[in-house]
Amino acid sequence: MANDLLYQIALTLIPNIGSVQAKTLLAHFGDAESVFKASRKKLEAIEQIGSVRAGSIKTFEDFATAEKEIEFITRYKIHPLFITDKNYPQRLLNCFDAPVLLYYRGNTPLNTSRVVSIIGTRSCTDYGKQFTEKFVADLREQQVLVVSGLAFGIDAIAHKAAVQNNLPTVGVLAHGLDCIYPPKHRNLAKDMLQNGGLLTEFRQDAKPDKHNFPRRNRIVAGMADATIVIETAIKGGSMITAELARNYNRDVFALPGRITDSKSDGCNYLIKHNHAVLLTDAKQLMETLGWQQKKVSPKTQQSLFNDLSKDEALIVEILRQKEHTHVDELFLKSGLSSSSVAAAMLNLELQAVITSLPGKIIRLN
């Protein structure tokens, strides 16, 4: 395992090899170690790799940095999540530029059935603060995982509200786990570790440099079912995150504000141009995402299962293996045609046996 991790970390250190190229290499060779042991000729033949990147791989020697990272991971009980790990945020797998390796310090599963990202301006108004606090409190019944970026303003308010309401909350960082930025949020971060955690793609010693934040934002957008924008100017990180969420086919919601309030300009823009759904409260969010459907009692569920067709029963059996499953995985594991899977899913949803979630995720009720 340690040897696997050494090569996995090393893969993220190779010059000219980003997340997209790394995943291409993994798809071709199967694991990180095999990438390093492949011949230059085989590497050069892969699309998107070529001679320059192949040269970067074959001349790479900085395994000492990877070993140092393993020592840090071991000392602070950090969970390295490689892209093939079952605990890796599965929703990110549908994002073309998802990181191949994440570092997680926490105790909350990242693949719970309901995840929202809450983002917004660092200099929010009382309107934004009060809405965020009530909105998060109203998510308590559904035990939604709240994700944000641990920044000043809306991010911190969302995290604090989650802690106060005993909701799991994860902060995605734009730096390594050897520090907390901003420093004023150290105590908040400690509280989050009790029911949630801290997640980053950056190794120790990585500073919160300006160019790291857009990379952080894509994780915030990609690991959630929906992104909630609460107060933002027309330009800024929240607008970037909202657009990333749209590009990942995630639902985006925005809190409307007065047209004279500059801190609502971004939200109003998203709503006006149909880039976000106008958000009024948590109930509306849950209704839109299908999170308020009545649970099927075991007795009723058993009765429904007895009446299932062969294809429907196969789909249900696959869904029983995981809390939620991507549609593509149903196609792969069932061996059925796309039309057969689609027909079976439609009948199952009409019978309230399954629920379709954003991002083509299916959950057994």
Q: For 220-231, write each residue's pLDDT tens digit.
A: 999 999 999 999
User: Does domain 2-75 bear CATH number 1.10.150.20?
Assistant: yes
| pLDDT, mean over the chain | 90
Express each pLDDT in 9-49 by its tens digit: 999 999 999 999 999 999 889 999 999 999 999 999 998 89
What ranges do the domains of the chain cover?
2-75, 106-289, 298-364
Burial code (b: 16+ CB inside 10 Å, e: under 16) for 202-233 equals bbbebebeeebbebbbbbbbbbbbbbbbbbbb
Band of the pLDDT at 55, cuts 50, 70, 90?
A: very high
User: Does domain 106-289 bear CATH number 2.40.30.10?
Assistant: no
Express each pLDDT in 72-101 by its tens digit: 999 999 999 999 999 999 999 889 899 999
The CATH number for 298-364, chosen from 3.80.30.20, 3.30.70.20, 3.30.930.10, 1.10.10.10, is: 1.10.10.10
Express each pLDDT in 335-351 by its tens digit: 887 778 888 888 888 88
Band of the pLDDT at 277, cuts 50, 70, 90?
A: very high
How far is Cα 156 from Cα 126, in angstroms, rounded to an integer? 14
How far is Cα 188 from Cα 156, in angstroms, rounded to an integer? 8
What is the pLDDT, as a whole number, of residue 300?
A: 47
Indicate whether 251 pLDDT > 60.
yes
Indicate whether 106 pLDDT > 80.
yes
pTM above 0.85?
no
Q: 201 to each of 54, 136, 173, 214, 217, how far by Cα in Å?
A: 23, 26, 8, 12, 11
How far is Cα 111 from Cα 99, in angstroms, rounded to an integer? 16
Do 154 and 242 touch, CB atoms closer than 8 A?
no
What is the pLDDT, as a whole number, of residue 297?
A: 52
